[in-house]
A and B are shown apart, each in its own frame.
Chain A
Amino acid sequence: MAKLDIPDNLWTKCSKCNAAIFNKDLEANLKVCPKCNYHFKLSAAERIAYTVDEGTFEEFDPALEPKDFLGFVDTEPYSKRINSAKLKAGTKEAIITGKGTIGTLPAAMGIMDFSYMGGSMGSVVGEKVTRIIEYAIDHKLPVIIVSSSGGARMQEGIMSLMQMAKTSAALGRLREYHLPYISIMTDPTTGGTSASYAMLGDINLAEPGALICFAGPRVIEQTIRQKLPPGFQRAEYLQQHGMVDKVVHRKDMRDILIKTLEFFKG
């Protein structure tokens, strides 16, 4: 009962178990609910802070910004959406790319941010992913991409679809150079993102409970008109079905990444 007297800005309600958690406890627990283990979504900046050695991250290509080249209008023009997304997410696109070290091991990285238009993949996301892969090839670095994305960005039409081709082709080149790619799938990783770079990891890691799929549960339910099995399309289910190497709790992610990078280190 006492919780009710606490000002709103000091605590957060868990979206899974409804527990009220002090923000400072939540932060200390890497934004994982201490009661039910629900992994809250992270901004790209938070993910970098939790994963990369402090002070080592250097951002690449911050100047890339989306363009409303189709003149796309749904409930509002895409050009307007771009502006509001920037304000809401505090980033210029749904991914931040760059390089840094993890346990002193260097890597090229891409970290998606769901708060920017649902982490949707348009031209900028595809271009930044491709550039970071090409950078890794040029500098003989492993690639780590953290996905958090509802899939392709409809407002860029077919060009979003083509980003799947572009990024996957770049990963093919990375392979030819015998450089490793670690894909980390977080909630959610779906549609065009899962059907391209997210599923192509030499190592596919996933956060507990993350929705990972090609078609979303709603679309499937509408198509087959039957209830979906429990845990369907969640990270654990994907591990069970052989699509994910390992479901990794957020508190263990850095450690697993270091061990993985050590395995691959030339």
Chain B
Amino acid sequence: MAKEEIKKNLMGFEKPLEELYKKIEHLNKVSSSGKMDFKEEIKMVEKRIEASRRDIFSQLTPIQTTQVARHISRPTTLDYINYIFQDFVELHGDRNFADDLAMVGGFAKLDGLPCMVIGHQKGMNTKENLYRNFGMAHPEGYRKALRLMRLADRFNRPIITFIDTPGAYPGIGAEERGQAEAVAKNLRAMAELSVPFIAIVTGEGGSGGALGIGMGNKVLMLEFSIYSVISPEGCASILFRDASRAAEAAKNMKITAKDLLELGVIDDIIKEPLGGAHQDAEQTAKNIKAGILKHLEGLKNLSSRELIADRYNKYRKMGIFAEVAELADAHDSKS
């Protein structure tokens, strides 16, 4: 899709902008007919679009944020790799069953520093999405990711992962080949990596399929990405027996970057351009790169042992519960 087309590819809640875009189109048409010049007017409408968009995006609901996170034109892992890194060499396959096209990875340089980069890969149209299985990896995808992480670990290279998946694929082959085992093994293995590891949720952080490459020392989220234990639709269909109540589920589950920062599950939020990452992929990539560099800097002086301990302690702390004094004690204090 051309850049201009993407800008106008509006989401439902951006409806108020539609009229303004039409106005610009009209003014352009009249202008190009040569009789009159509406440059000033166009500029004014563009300003109004910007103001209106700023207003809309300052108060997105969680389900609207979900729409942004899933936008068909949202930049993908390969887009970010190309903008952020140099000399990317993609590596294929899990050395066991197949190459999973929903998961990409390989080495690349980050301002000269060799890194391993891995991420879910979605498409930007139906054809690409079918090819990429909508970014839903099979066990071989998780096993490829693990192979690459271990390779990086052995040669002391930082690992950067990009997370953007509706979830690990639910299918017959996926189950037969051990989807649960593949994700579980990745979790255990990621905890043991002795190199700096930064995970970035760029779009949809869909449950175990997201976490399966996401146990970084630092976990960052793009401003309008989401990260959740189950999709809002899935949650609504189970708890309300009504998938159309996804908005409520999204709100309840706390899935936005801001929520997760408050819960201490992520470490930083990366700003997106006005209107979301798809409005300016290059700028988004620049922001991500700045985030990666900032957090790598903080990790670079840690020894292998410290990096493992840092990661263990980070996840060890997660969980909110009550530790109620024994009932027996309560009785004692009464008597």
Complex contact B179–A123 (CB within 8 A) = no
Tell me the bound Cα distance from A222 to B239 in angstroms. 17
**Which of B184, B207, B212 touches A199 (beta carbons < 8 Å)?**
B184
Complex contact B321–A169 (CB within 8 A) = no
Interface digits, B162-206 against A, CB 8 Å rule (1 contact, 0 not)?
000000111110111111110111011111100000000000000
Complex contact A69–B255 (CB within 8 A) = no
Taking CB atoms, residues of chain B closer than 8 Å to A159 are 263, 265, 318-320
Complex contact A154–B238 (CB within 8 A) = yes
Interface digits, A217-238 against B, CB 8 Å rule (1 contact, 0 not)?
0011001100011001100000
**Which of B170, B211, B253 touches A165 (beta carbons < 8 Å)?**
B211
Interface digits, A162-197 against B, CB 8 Å rule (1 contact, 0 not)?
111110111111011000000000000001101111
Taking CB atoms, residues of chain A closer than 8 Å to B170 are 214-215, 219-220, 223
Complex contact B181–A199 (CB within 8 A) = yes
**Which of B229, B315, B324 touches A152 (beta carbons < 8 Å)?**
B229
Interface residues of A in 227-255 (CB under 8 A from B): 228-229, 232-233, 241-243
Chain B: minimal CB distance from A205 (Å) = 15
Taking CB atoms, residues of chain B closer than 8 Å to A220 are 170-172, 175
Complex contact A65–B324 (CB within 8 A) = yes
Complex contact A196–B184 (CB within 8 A) = yes
Tell me the bound Cα distance from A145 to B180 in angstroms. 17
Tell me the bound Cα distance from A171 to B188 in angstroms. 7
Interface residues of A in 57-74 (CB under 8 A from B): 62-67, 69-70, 72-74
Taking CB atoms, residues of chain A closer than 8 Å to B175 are 213-215, 220, 232-233
Complex contact A169–B311 (CB within 8 A) = yes
Complex contact B235–A166 (CB within 8 A) = no
Number of B interface residues in the complex (CB < 8 A)? 57
Complex contact A166–B319 (CB within 8 A) = yes
Interface residues of A in 26-74 (CB under 8 A from B): 62-67, 69-70, 72-74
Given contacts A65-B324, A164-B211, contact A158 B265 (CB under 8 A): yes
The stretch from A5-13, A14-22, A95-103, A124-132 touching chain B is A124-132
Complex contact B180–A214 (CB within 8 A) = yes
Complex contact B253–A161 (CB within 8 A) = no
B227 in the interface, Cβ–Cβ < 8 Å?
A: yes
Taking CB atoms, residues of chain B closer than 8 Å to A122 are 321
Taking CB atoms, residues of chain B closer than 8 Å to A90 are none
**A interface SS class:** helix
Tell me the bound Cα distance from A169 to B254 in angstroms. 24
**Which of A73, A127, A199, A229 touches B172 (beta carbons < 8 Å)?**
A229
Q: Across the two chains, which residue of chain B brings its CB closest to A68? A: B320
Tell me the bound Cα distance from A212 to B177 in angstroms. 13
Taking CB atoms, residues of chain A closer than 8 Å to B312 are 169, 173
A146 in the interface, Cβ–Cβ < 8 Å?
A: no
**Which of A66, A130, A170, A195 touches B179 (beta carbons < 8 Å)?**
A195
Complex contact A165–B171 (CB within 8 A) = no
Given contacts A169-B316, A171-B188, contact A75 B240 (CB under 8 A): yes
Complex contact B188–A195 (CB within 8 A) = no
A122, A156, A157, A224 — most chain B CB neighbours (10 Å): A157
Chain A: minimal CB distance from B263 (Å) = 7
Tell me the bound Cα distance from A127 to B322 in angstroms. 11
Tell me the bound Cα distance from A62 to B325 in angstroms. 9
A258 in the interface, Cβ–Cβ < 8 Å?
A: no
Tell me the bound Cα distance from A242 to B249 in angstroms. 37
Given contacts A162-B265, A166-B318, A232-B172, contact A152 B230 (CB under 8 A): yes
Tell me the bound Cα distance from A159 to B254 in angstroms. 10
A109 in the interface, Cβ–Cβ < 8 Å?
A: no
Chain B: minimal CB distance from A155 (Å) = 8
Q: List 20 A-B contacts (CB under 8 A).
A: A64-B323, A69-B320, A70-B252, A123-B320, A154-B230, A157-B252, A161-B228, A164-B187, A165-B211, A166-B316, A169-B191, A169-B215, A169-B315, A176-B192, A195-B212, A196-B184, A196-B187, A200-B188, A212-B180, A241-B176
Across the A-B interface, give the 5 residue pairs with the lowest CB-CB distance, nearest first.
A215-B170, A169-B191, A168-B187, A123-B319, A74-B239
With A75-B239, A164-B187 given, can you name 5 additional A-B contacts, CB distance below 8 Å? A72-B252, A161-B211, A162-B211, A169-B191, A243-B180
